Amino acid sequence: MKQKNVILMVVAVGCGLVAAFLTSQMSAKGQVEQVEVVVAAKDLPVGTMITRDDLKDEKIVKIKKVPKDGLPPQVVTNKEDLIDKRLSRPVRVEETFNPQDLSKGGAITLPDGYDMVSFQIGVGNAAAGFIGPGSRVNVNATLRLGNKTHAFPLLVNMLVVAVDTQTTYSKDGTFPSMNTVSFAVKEKQALLLSLAKSRGCSLELMLRHPSKSATADENYNIDDVIKLLSSATDKAEIKGGIGSDEQPKEKEPVKPEVKPEVKPETVSPPPVAPTPVVKIETKKILIAKRDIAPNTDVTADLVKEAFELTELPASFAPNAVGDLSPAYGKQFKTGVATGQWVTPAMVDSVLKPAPQFTAVYPKPEVQPETKPETKPETTPMQPTPVQPSEVKPVKVRKYHDVALHDAKGTVIHRYEEVEPGKWKKVKELTAEQAAKEAAQAEKDAK
């Protein structure tokens, strides 16, 4: 019995030692070292400025204890380090602040290898003014080619450097009266933006979500966008620009010995240009130089100051208007964006373009020098015969009549062909006058 009791005592002591060891380990795990850090009290967007007044309450930032082992390598532990600093990236609620995401004074600087370009845009086309320095945006474009309208991303994931002359966010975090936006761009991106404005594209900015990564733009190709801006009759290309995904490269010295020698026998004759089959008909249209708000009165001063007359192929802008004088006193119903041409639908049903053209062939005019001189010995009954060599060919002039209809009636604008494919306006007629001249020309031709 004594030996059995000894064994039981040994087992009991062993169990006690094991229990004591496990208890000590559990107590050690429960004592995790914690530190106080500064975290966001709410979601803070990029560009947020933190002032001393923002630290008086916990509406912007607050102090929180977190395990030391789970902290990032760099965190802000003192609220004073956030005074007069601007966020260069968004910070979520309960998230710590990284000193590298804070900039003094809030100025956005250009990244290495980038330049800055600006263009005019209104609040209505810039996410209602919520776009500001440090934001990432897409530049979306709308373009009409022939009978098709194309909408596509012109530039993607662009860094906004400044709004107007402001390189920091305002206290309210918005820009309700912006006029210009500046981007950090590569040279090819800047040239593409200039090309889109010259082609009359309607542009607007899309504010990207902060969590949207660059992989979302993997299907974007700047060369495909350049091809989209071309038409069958009006080609578009960019020369000399560095691509959006390329870095500037130093030019390598040209070695004279690597230049190919041109031998006389290998020189091929220049290609012969094909004979043009059809002349491209052009028309002059009005294009807005700035944004024009809806319900703006159409006046001569407004047309002179806010529009420019541009010549484009007629098939490129079939519904565009080149003369707004019949609409004076009316209003733009929908407004006109910068670079957009005017169509009859934008005005109160005054302008009605007449794409049809009526060819009028008047009576051939005989030049004064072709009249034979009257000699004294010639009687009225015996006219002096005219030799074939004395008769000069008669130049037949071609005319086009363009009809414009308004509430007062129809006005015929007559154009004369001064050179092959070039026309000049010679006079304006009423519908009755044009009909009389056409009837007279038909009568004279018989």
DSSP string, 348-378: SS--B-----EEE--PPPPPGGGSPPPPTT-
User: Which residues touch 106 (CB under 8 Å, ≥6 apart)?
Assistant: 47, 49, 85, 86, 133, 167, 168, 169
Q: Tell me how many degrees the CA angle 193-45-69 measures, rounded to the nearest 5.
A: 125
Q: Is a pLDDT exceeding 70 seen at residue 44?
A: yes
- The pTM (predicted TM-score) of the whole model is 0.37
Tokens of 396: 């037949």
pLDDT for 150 equals 84
Q: Which residue has the higher pLDDT, 277 or 440?
A: 440
Mind listing the pLDDT tens digit for each residue in 350-400?
454 444 444 444 444 545 555 555 555 544 555 555 555 555 555 566 777
Mind listing the pLDDT tens digit for each residue in 220-250?
988 888 888 876 566 767 776 655 554 434 3
pLDDT for 392 equals 54
Residues 51 and 17 sit within 8 Å (Cβ to Cβ): no
Percentage of the chain exceeding pLDDT 90: 2
Burial class (CB in 10 A: 0-12, 13-18, 19+), 393: exposed
